[in-house]
Amino acid sequence: MFPNPFGPPPPPPGTRIPPGITGGEKGRMVILGVAMLLVLGVMGALLVYVQSAFEVPAAKEEGPHPQDMPPEKPAPGEGPEITFAPSPLFPEEEKEEVERILGEDLAKWTDVVDGVPAVDPGPFNLLLDRVSSHARIMNLQEESFDGGLEPSALLAAPAGNRGRLVLVSGELLSLAREPWTIESGLVQEVRRGLLRDGGGRLWTFTWAVGNPLEPDPVAPGEGWVRVQGIFYKSWPAKDPASGAEVPTPHLVLQRRPRKDFPKTSVHDLDAAWFGQVRDGTPAEMTVRDEDPLFWLLNLSGNIGQQGWEKWASEKQARDPGLRIWPPENLTGRYKELLDNPAPYRFRPIRYFGYLALPSVIREVRPNPANVEQLWIGFLVDDDGAPAIWVYSPRSLLENGIRKDDRVMVDGFFLKRVAYEPAGGGAMKRAAVMVATRILPAPLPTDNVGRSVMVAIAAFMGLLTLGLLFTVLRGRREAEEAEQRRLDRISKRRQERGTPVIVVPGRTGPPGVPPEGGA
């Protein structure tokens, strides 16, 4: 079969014809364009992220935070629709309302006799019923009870103060049991106690008990209790110290007494605390509220953020051999605390990290340091691990600090704890410190953000050059392969003896028509 003399003939051997843009090359060029757009998009996104992540929060000092600014006043008739719904008055308004109701209920009884150490069945049983079955009274929290009332103020006008909500803490001197029932059947016994508060004043109380097997919070004469209840009447009692009979305010308790401790103030570390910390086994590491925690919180509260440097400097001057001031910076070295906590116990340390999940714990167990509430947060290290648990006697969100800000924390290392991650899985460990000072510590934008952007730009540039080199190399290899193919075709045709078309007056390569001919 002869080739079409009028079709495109293959070039002779050795002839190089510049190829055009083939379909494959067009595809590679499209891929290169898409890759370039993708690289530019990723660089833009990373630029925005880095600028937001490493921005110094200077706006906090220039003006109020947006969430602190008052909302714009809408135009008349254009404001949001407002609906009103009932809500409980709690706790301050609830206190006043409950006291008013109790006062009115007790005022209906005219047989209450003050100054007599005996109950008046009608009003007494009414109060027992209220504290054992009335949900509104049973749900009152400690904030609703007044802890600053003087006994003399109550005793001066007992009728006018009847129904007041009172909170008292003191040493339990005596506690007697007496069988007693009321119509509801929720009370089987009452226990009458005598306590002396921190000012040396005597108080008496009645505690309604539903189960006679319920234990006492402490044995009489062996500790303090905290009681909260309703003022009932004036009740004479014998003072164990003097033997004289003195009038006391008598309370009907709203809930069982709780173990308490006398007020105390800690101003220095105590060597006895070392023997009270346990973190040698996984079980011991799950205990997070040992007494030394509360001693340190008390100490930190007394030192204060402003007095921290002075306290630590003076202690360093008295004990030159100790490493106290400046605190050792353990940022990024939390594993040293986890692997060998003993050398760092109760030592001042410093740590930089991102403050996560700051929150307040308003109810803590009774403790000898008399700490009633505390703050807790987590310092997240640069590797994303919650390396340090931070406890504080005051809010962690002071000095312009907000959640997730990078901060510097000075404080005392306490122990290591074990916890289960929120998503489940194996137990993990973290170090615990009690903060004495916490300050904002943003990363410098010039040093960190610019360095990160330069690294990202360099990486993207290398990626772009690599893609371009790959496309150009593929095109060159495709051209060489096409040229070899054409050379092979031309060589095979010469070997087969392809006929040559002879045109008078002109001789050309095989299969090439003469000019102007058909």
Measured CA to CA, the distance from residue 152 to residue 252 in angstroms comes to 18
pLDDT of residue 83: 46
> Residue 501: what pLDDT?
52
Angstrom CA distances, 302 to 168, 393, 447, 515, stand at 24, 10, 38, 109
Instruction: Name residues whose C-beta falls within 8 Å of residue 13's C-beta, 6 or more positions apart in sequence.
Output: 487, 490, 491, 494
Strand-strand pairing, 406-419 and 428-440:
antiparallel
Token pair recorded at residue 469: 């080199």
* Identity of the residue numbered 488: R
CB 375 within 8 A of CB 357: no
pLDDT for residue 409? 95
Strands 224-238 and 245-253: antiparallel
Tens of pLDDT, residue by residue over 255-265, are 999 999 998 99
Taking CA atoms, 425 is separated from 115, 372, 422, 484, in Å, by 64, 33, 9, 62
Residues 6+ apart with CB under 8 A from 117: 235, 236, 237
- Name the H helices within 240-290: 282-285
User: Which segments of the chain have a pLDDT < 70?
Assistant: 1-30, 32, 43-93, 444-454, 471, 497-518
What is d(CA 289, CA 170) in angstroms, rounded to the nearest whole number?
23
Nearest C-alpha neighbor of 399 from the set 429, 339, 355: 355
User: Is residue 172 within 8 Å of residue 225, measured between CB atoms?
Assistant: yes
Determine the pLDDT at residue 85: 44
Rounded alpha-carbon distances, angstroms, from residue 133 to 31, 127, 206, 230, 253: 77, 10, 16, 15, 13
Contact 409/427 with Cβ under 8 angstroms?
A: no
Residues 6+ apart with CB under 8 A from 38: none
Q: Which two tokens stand for residue 442?
A: 């943003």
CA dist 329 and 351 (Å) reads 6
The secondary structure of 450-461, three-state, reads HHHHHHHHHHHH
Task: Tell me the C-alpha distance between 392 and 411, whole Å.
Answer: 9
Please give the pLDDT value at position 329: 93
Q: Which residues pair with 250 in a beta bridge?
A: 204, 233
Please report the pLDDT score of residue 49 as a whole number: 63
Q: What is the pLDDT of residue 474?
A: 72
Beta strand residue intervals within 189-223, DSSP E: 189-197, 202-209
Which of 148, 266, 142 is closest to 198 using CA atoms? 148
What pTM does this model have? 0.62
